[in-house]
Amino acid sequence: MSMPTPSPASEAPRQLTVPLPPKIDPEDHQYIEFASSSTHLVLGCNNSVSIYSLPAFDLVDTISPGRLLRYFDPLRVYERLLVVICDSYESEDPFKECCFLYIWDLSSREHIGTVIYNVNRTQILMSVSLPLAETPDDGERSSEPLKRPRDPFLILCVQANGTLAELETYVLSHQDKKSVEGCIERTREPMVMTPAATICSVHLVYCLASMGRTALTGGWDRTVRAWDIIVGNCQMVFIGDSDSD
């Protein structure tokens, strides 16, 4: 009597071994950060970030963007874009703590730029808005054709001391993929980026998400607001339950 074939769910999970770079010793470094996408695995420790290709787990790049900011998920991958949140940046104001975002293109293997984050680091609200694919009905519901961004946007929510927030948008130039051979260790001077646009007086924000040209902010006023990051205004407000009970 033949036995039924076990389902894939009953099989033992596959174990993978990732070779760590020589400079990372698990016994000396208790905090090894990681993030991944369908094409890359990123490991970070102290001021070093190692990038592996998937599914081969080949080490393709080692970069030194700066000292990783602990406890804030310092490695974030958005498809082909890697954002590394690094601790401390020299500020003209000695009483203002700064961190910075180091942005790396995983496909072209290039440093796109660095964004200075001049606010309280207890909460870092950021999102990368990726371009949406065009659909046949785009623009049919309005008299003007819908303008879609061709490049990704980095969106930062900047607020301090209980003031109304601002949304800063940065254009992340989408370079064509280049053929680069070998594992390269790179340390570069930061190319500081400036905002392409700023949306002022948003509201007190505690969460942020985005897609295409739309950013969503969730506020302490129990509202969710949809912002057009191209035009720079609020398109819709969703009001939640205001009953304190």
How do the domains of the chain map onto residue ranges? Answer: 18-135+146-239
Q: What is the mean pLDDT of residues 132-141?
A: 57
Q: What is the mean pLDDT of residues 141-153?
A: 66
Q: What is the mean pLDDT of residues 183-210?
A: 79
Which is more confidently placed, 178 or 53? 53
The yes-or-no verdict on residue 147 having pLDDT over 90 is no
Q: What is the mean pLDDT of residues 29-52?
A: 89
Level-2 CATH architecture, domain 18-135+146-239: Beta Barrel (2.40)
Q: What pLDDT shows up at residue 120? A: 59
Q: What pLDDT shows up at residue 180? A: 45
Banded pLDDT at 113 (limits 50, 70, 90): very high
pTM over the 0.95 mark: no
Q: What is the mean pLDDT of residues 136-151?
A: 58
The edge-to-edge listing of strands for the beta sheet with 205-211 is 205-211, 214-219, 223-228, 233-239
Contact 167, 214 (CB under 8 A): no
The yes-or-no verdict on residue 223 having pLDDT over 60 is yes
Q: What is the mean pLDDT of residues 55-76?
A: 89
What DSSP character marks residue 9?
A: G
Q: What are the φ and ψ backbone dihedral angles of 19, each rounded to 5 degrees?
A: -70, 125
Banded pLDDT at 179 (limits 50, 70, 90): very low
Average pLDDT, the chain: 79
Q: What pLDDT shows up at residue 182? A: 44
Contact 211, 199 (CB under 8 A): no
pLDDT digits (tens, 9 = 90+) for 81-91: 999 999 875 55
From CA 231, how far away is CA 215, in angstroms rounded? Answer: 12
Please name the residue that has the structure tokens 């790396």. 104
Q: What pLDDT shows up at residue 96? A: 55
Contact 171, 150 (CB under 8 A): no
The yes-or-no verdict on residue 187 having pLDDT over 60 is no
Q: What pLDDT shows up at residue 37? A: 94
Q: What pLDDT shows up at residue 235? A: 94
The yes-or-no verdict on residue 181 having pLDDT over 50 is no
The yes-or-no verdict on residue 43 having pLDDT over 90 is yes
